[in-house]
Amino acid sequence: MPIRALVFDAYGTLYDVLSVSGRANELCGDKGDLITQLWRLKQLEYTWLRSLMRSYQDFWSVTRAALEFTLTGVGIAPSPALCDRLMDSYLHLELYEETLQALSLLGDYQLAILSNGSPDMLDALIRSSGVADRFADVISVDRVRLFKPDPACYALVEPALGVAKQEVLFVSSNGFDVAGAKRYGFQVAWIERGGAHGPPEHSAVGPAEFYRMIRGRAEQLGYEPDYRVRRLTDLASLVGQ
């Protein structure tokens, strides 16, 4: 079926979650990069655990808990003042450099976001980055009180946009999200943010390389993306074929 709507993941796809490193380095010195990587990994882990335990808390609460875990783990006291300043970074994440151009190129399609983010987080984020008018809907999993890749999250798209799932191209850089969306029945494009990095030369890897090994590769879950592209701007020619 032809594509009628493109639905984007937000964190890691449109927005660079690792852009929190600037604030982390400013506030936490030489542990900033380690905090940046661990925080994101624990944040995702907590979404999956919360869904499995059927003990939902919104993404802001999950992100805060992951931050407190991370700071404690690296030997920094998670004071409210420090956590508040680091958490504020999630309301002002940087867009990937090609995001605005990509959205402009796709202007003939219905565009939306489907994100783990809470409504307040997403509202602040899209307004601070100036893209609020680009999307027909910004869909938070808070509507079903579960996190991706639970199928109930992807099922929010069809009634919100008035399209069949086969008419949706779901776009994500996150391997777990790619697998979940494909399992649900969307057409899926994986943005390969990890690039073409090979295996490490030895086991003494830094936090950035370790993160890339965990988060930058396709998951081995049996659900492959329909398309693999390096940049969001590659989508325009893909859907135009």
Which residue among the candidates 9, 16, 58, 142 is catalytic per the annotation? Answer: 9
Q: d(Cα 70, Cα 185) in Å, to the nearest integer?
A: 35
Domain that holds residue 63: 17-91
User: Are 189 and 86 within one domain?
Assistant: no
Q: Give me the tens of pLDDT residue by residue for the chain, a chain 241 residues long.
A: 789 999 999 999 999 999 999 999 999 999 999 999 999 999 999 999 999 999 999 999 999 999 999 999 999 999 999 999 999 999 999 999 999 999 999 988 999 999 999 999 999 999 999 999 999 999 999 999 999 999 999 999 999 999 999 999 999 999 999 999 999 999 999 999 865 566 777 676 677 777 776 777 788 899 999 999 999 999 999 887 6
User: Are 149 and 194 within one domain?
Assistant: yes
User: What pLDDT digit, counting tens, does each position of 140-190 carry?
Assistant: 999 999 999 999 999 999 999 999 999 999 999 999 999 999 999 999 999
User: Are 98 and 150 within one domain?
Assistant: yes
Of 75, 91, 107, the residue that ends a domain is: 91
User: Are 121 and 62 within one domain?
Assistant: no
Radius of gyration, CA atoms only, the chain: 17
User: Are 128 and 175 within one domain?
Assistant: yes
Place of tokens 């940087």: 94
Of 91, 120, 147, the residue that ends a domain is: 91
User: Are 140 and 223 within one domain?
Assistant: yes
**Dihedral angle at the C-alpha atoms of 104, 106, 162, 1, nearest 10 degrees?**
180
| CATH at residue 62 | 1.10.150.240
3-state DSSP call for residue 40? helix
9 among known catalytic residues: yes
pTM over 0.85: yes
User: Are 185 and 122 within one domain?
Assistant: yes
User: Are 137 and 147 within one domain?
Assistant: yes
User: Are 159 and 220 within one domain?
Assistant: yes
| CATH at residue 208 | 3.40.50.1000
User: Are 105 and 179 within one domain?
Assistant: yes
Q: d(Cα 113, Cα 3) in Å, to the nearest integer?
A: 16
User: Are 131 and 180 within one domain?
Assistant: yes
Of 73, 91, 109, the residue that ends a domain is: 91
User: Are 116 and 233 within one domain?
Assistant: yes
* Domain count across the chain: 2
